[in-house]
A and B are shown apart, each in its own frame.
Chain A
Amino acid sequence: MSITAKNISKHFGATLALDNVSLDVTDGHLVALVGPSGSGKTTLLRILAGLENADRDSGSIHFHDEEVTHASVRDRRVGMVFQHYALFRHMTVAKNIAFGLRVRRRSERPSKAEIDQRVEELLGLVQLEGYGNRLPGQLSGGQRQRVALARALAVQPRILLLDEPFGALDAKVRKDLRRWLRQFHEQIGLTTVFVTHDQEEALELADEVVVMRNAAIEQVGSPQEVFDYPESPFVIEFMGNVNQVTHGLHNLPVQGEDALYVRPHDIEILDAKAEPTGIEARVQHIFSAGSVGRVSLARTSTNEIFEAEVPRSELDRLALQPGQTVGLRFRHIRLFKKDAAGKQSLVETDAAEAIGAGK
């Protein structure tokens, strides 16, 4: 089921939490709302769920072609997984999952046998067979999350909303669960919106990424688009590591409020043995304990610090030493210029122009 939210605003007292936000989610997509804390992403999710009401004079929300702007939480039929799972702590896992079915009106309630069968199916779906009689407190974080997911799916929701689904888990479990959730999504094909503050999570998991900032949507696009064609300095800084070239390059000066960026993997360290060419920099630290080597470099002329990511094989070949002077080449750069409306936007720069020669 597709979701269309139009011109949604929300105030909490005098604070503006959402400023005229519009969002389209394609049926069956997995969409990430990503942004720093306070950007309004959780508020937007809760408004979609019906747990918060948008401002009275603000726009509308449709699920497919049904208007749900003023529908109650019950009537919206959304599945929601809360950040800390919100499992009913006094009920067993099976009772938790069955809850949504048991509270239905008698006429719509499935029989006890049907409920039990549905619970078993769902336990199987989230790979927790045999855990039905446990209490939530006896489960690990990752298991609790899957119970919360099963509970949300039990009522056959029209859309699935996840608030920081991996926020409360440790790093290893996070990675496993992230991959599992992606697969799970492909298996059930339910339109899903999740909130995260972790750009890596958003990029890896989502079909579409919605970057939020200061109560507004900054950019919407596929992970690739958002990463490769950020529409603002905020997006390039938030989505992945980036170096800002504050002093510009000799053939590409930075003026006024222009902002010039280069991604760490777009910095090429030229062969150190030859005479330094390109942008001259001094090697400061080398971090080689990882799948990708990271080198921190200080630009000789300005003392700007750049972080470069270099493949391990390349790093071994270069045999860098701290203190050594090397030449750099920027394979790809991004320049943002302020336009007449005062908005900083990406200027298509012919990268080659800025790359290579000069100090």
Chain B
Amino acid sequence: MAGNTSTLHGRAAKAVAGKSGPHGSNTPLRYLLIGIALAFLLLFLFMPLASIFAEAFRKGAGAYFESFDDPAAIHAIKLTLIVAAISVPLNAVFGLAGSWAIAKYEFKGKSFLTTLIDLPFAVSPVIAGLIYILMFGAHGWFGPWLNQHDIQIVFAVPGIVLATLFVTFPFVARELIPVMQAQGNDEEYAALTLGASGWQTFRLVTLPNVKWPLFYGVILCNARAMGEFGAVSVVSGHIREMTNTMPLHVEILYNEYNFVAAFATASALALVALFTLALKSFIEWRAASAQKFREGERLPDNTPLHQTS
């Protein structure tokens, strides 16, 4: 009974709050602020996005699809997919391992490791690319040795993968660490006392508990892996049909005044971005409803306990 009344009170309070808002109702000012915000969104987010598609279709759908019928374009798309297919799973594993260690254990140098994970966010992607040139380039530290053994890293696919790995490293770990920390270790300890092995504990308890944040981190990581320009640009060498990814291909086409093809390729990347956003919202919605399902419908503590004697 008390429960019912309080819910009703809650609803009434919400309804009242909904009408006037916490700062009272100053209608003209409100509309002005909303208008400014909308204009900003339109000008800086929606219009550039729309202009990509407008430019891409300037000469009609035929010209648009023709731009993808070019070996260089097809190769760029393939390379982008290959790079993402290698770097995203690797970073999912690294991110999972790193955040597991950071969130669940105490060890010396833990805060250093946490900072290190954020390093790719702090460093300019161009610098990241240059680091790999300094290490693996012809005049770099390992250059002569690599040369002797005929291994090509810089200006080749391995270099692009390395640069992408570096730049997209934090995404998965950043999503997982706070969730894992909030969940604590008790469930893992419980699994151990019930006789589970370390691997069983990880597979049956730890992993299912971070399923949604992991998925979320992976799609963000994927979006960045496909769209990365700076670091990849430095290590790629821009060799057509060899080391050109989609973002690099866009730049080349644009510099050659081939605007329709440039924007058509860009629109493919934009579609990836839009798809990522849609997927991200879906995951957020699923994770939230899973949470609600778990915490909703909490029963009151009134199931009787029979005293048997």
Q: A and B: real partners?
A: yes
Q: A88-B187, A90-B208, A180-B305 are in contact. Are A143 and B299 (CB under 8 A)?
A: yes
Q: Is A71's beta carbon under 8 Å from chain B?
A: no
Q: Is B303's beta carbon under 8 Å from chain A?
A: yes
Interface residues on A, range: 35 or more
Q: A103-B204, A127-B305 are in contact. Are A138 and B193 (CB under 8 A)?
A: no
Q: How far is the CB of B93 from chain A (nearest CB, A)?
A: 21
Q: Is A80's beta carbon under 8 Å from chain B?
A: yes
In chain A, positions 201-238 with a C-beta closer than 8 Å to chain B are none
Residues of B within 8 A of A248 (CB): none
Q: How far is the CB of A53 from chain B (nearest CB, A)?
A: 13
Q: How far is the CB of A90 from chain B (nearest CB, A)?
A: 5
Partner of A51, one of B189, B208, B300: B189
Q: Is A197's beta carbon under 8 Å from chain B?
A: no
Q: Is A322's beta carbon under 8 Å from chain B?
A: no
Q: Which residue of A lies closest to B189 (CB)?
A: A51
Are B295 and A73 closer than 8 Å at their CB atoms?
A: no
Q: Which residue of A lies closest to B194 (CB)?
A: A100
Are B204 and A142 closer than 8 Å at their CB atoms?
A: no
Q: Is B274's beta carbon under 8 Å from chain A?
A: no
Q: How far is the CB of A165 from chain B (nearest CB, A)?
A: 14
Q: How far is the CB of B254 from chain A (nearest CB, A)?
A: 48
Q: Is A78's beta carbon under 8 Å from chain B?
A: yes
Q: Which residue of A lies closest to B305 (CB)?
A: A180
Q: Is A137's beta carbon under 8 Å from chain B?
A: yes
Residues of A within 8 A of B208 (CB): 90
Q: Identify the stretch in A25-33, A169-177, A286-294, A331-339 within 8 Å (CB) of chain B at 4 or more residues.
A: A169-177
- Encoded as 1 (CB less than 8 Å from any B CB) or 0, chain A from 158 to 191 comes to 0000000000011011001101100100010000
Partner of B204, one of A78, A99, A141: A99
Residues of B within 8 A of A318 (CB): none
Partner of B297, one of A74, A89, A138, A177: A138
Q: Is B307's beta carbon under 8 Å from chain A?
A: yes
Partner of B196, one of A79, A90, A103, A140: A103
Are A86 and B301 closer than 8 Å at their CB atoms?
A: no
Are A100 and B189 closer than 8 Å at their CB atoms?
A: no
Q: How far is the CB of A154 from chain B (nearest CB, A)?
A: 8
In chain B, positions 291-309 with a C-beta closer than 8 Å to chain A are 293-303, 305-309
Q: Is B209's beta carbon under 8 Å from chain A?
A: yes
Residues of B within 8 A of A87 (CB): 187, 190
Q: Is B181's beta carbon under 8 Å from chain A?
A: no
Partner of A78, one of B193, B200, B293, B305: B193
In chain A, positions 301-330 with a C-beta closer than 8 Å to chain B are none
Q: Which residue of A lies closest to B308 (CB)?
A: A183
Provide the bound-state CA to CA distance between A128 and B194, in Å: 20
Q: A74-B197, A183-B309 are in contact. Are A99 and B191 (CB under 8 A)?
A: yes
Residues of A within 8 A of B305 (CB): 127, 176-177, 179-180
Q: A79-B193, A103-B194, A183-B308 are in contact. Are A89 and B187 (CB under 8 A)?
A: yes
Q: How far is the CB of B300 from chain A (nearest CB, A)?
A: 6
Residues of A within 8 A of B307 (CB): 179-180, 183
Residues of B within 8 A of A179 (CB): 305, 307
Q: Is B195's beta carbon under 8 Å from chain A?
A: yes
Q: How far is the CB of A42 from chain B (nearest CB, A)?
A: 12
Q: Is B277's beta carbon under 8 Å from chain A?
A: no
Are A169 and B299 closer than 8 Å at their CB atoms?
A: no
Q: How far is the CB of A155 from chain B (nearest CB, A)?
A: 6
Provide the bound-state CA to CA distance between A90 and B300, in Å: 21
Residues of A within 8 A of B12 (CB): none
Q: Is B134's beta carbon under 8 Å from chain A?
A: no
Q: How far is the CB of B210 from chain A (nearest CB, A)?
A: 10
Provide the bound-state CA to CA distance between A180 and B191, in Å: 26
Q: Is A136's beta carbon under 8 Å from chain B?
A: yes
Partner of A170, one of B187, B209, B301: B301
Provide the bound-state CA to CA distance between A130 and B2, in Å: 27
Residues of A within 8 A of B302 (CB): 140
Are A155 and B194 closer than 8 Å at their CB atoms?
A: yes
> Beyond the given A74-B196, A88-B191, A138-B299, could you list 9 further A-B residue pairs with CB under 8 A, ordered by the A residue number?
A51-B189, A88-B190, A99-B196, A137-B296, A137-B298, A140-B301, A140-B302, A155-B194, A170-B301
28 A-B pairs within 8 Å (CB atoms) are namely A49-B193, A51-B189, A73-B189, A77-B195, A86-B186, A86-B190, A90-B209, A99-B194, A103-B196, A103-B204, A135-B294, A136-B294, A137-B293, A137-B298, A138-B297, A138-B299, A140-B298, A140-B299, A140-B302, A142-B301, A143-B303, A151-B190, A154-B194, A170-B301, A173-B301, A177-B305, A180-B305, A187-B308
